């Protein structure tokens, strides 16, 4: 799997939420680009979707010249991939270093720490 750009991720989030959509539907759901409230152009969204097709993460059903797009990967699958990339690229593949970073940098509350411990305890065989 290849990493997606921010624009590609925005479109994938829409497709994951809607399950399938035409370009006009995706455009409606995309957030505004800036404080003016403008959204990307239709052709821009269409181009990004074609790139996502080439990357193998989006498929489509053709209705004449119109295409209805759908995700070929699940959001959890991509999230897992991104997390692995983060751990490998910045924390030497160490989950302990990743968690330690968030504990120190994000001032993890005691309640959040308890929740993490509870999650870990539930995983014990």
Query: Which structural domain range is residue 103 located in?
Result: 94-123
Burial 34-48 (b: 16+ CB within 10 A, else e): eeeeebbeeeebbeb
Mean of per-residue pLDDT scores for the chain: 89
pLDDT band for position 70 (cuts 50, 70, 90): very high
Residue 49 belongs to a domain? yes
Q: 20 and 58: one domain?
A: yes
pLDDT band for position 8 (cuts 50, 70, 90): very high
Residue 115 belongs to a domain? yes
33 or 125, greater pLDDT: 33
Give the 3-state secondary structure of residue 20.
Answer: coil
pLDDT at 65: 92
Residue 24 belongs to a domain? yes
Residue 86 belongs to a domain? no
pLDDT at 125: 63
pLDDT of 103 > 70? The answer is yes
pLDDT band for position 24 (cuts 50, 70, 90): very high
């Amino acid at each position: 799997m290849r990493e997606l750009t921010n624009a590609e991720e925005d479109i994938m989030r829409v497709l994951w939420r809607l399950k399938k959509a035409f370009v006009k539907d995706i455009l409606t759901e995309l957030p505004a680009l800036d404080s003016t409230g403008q959204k990307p152009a239709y052709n821009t969204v269409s181009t990004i979707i074609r790139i996502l097709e080439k990357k193998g993460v989006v498929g489509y059903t053709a209705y004449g010249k119109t295409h209805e797009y759908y995700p070929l990967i699940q959001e959890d699958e991509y999230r897992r991939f991104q997390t692995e990339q983060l751990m490998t690229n910045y924390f030497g593949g160490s989950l302990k270093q990743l968690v330690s970073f968030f504990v120190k940098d994000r001032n993890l509350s005691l309640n959040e720490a308890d929740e993490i411990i509870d999650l870990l305890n539930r995983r014990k065989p």
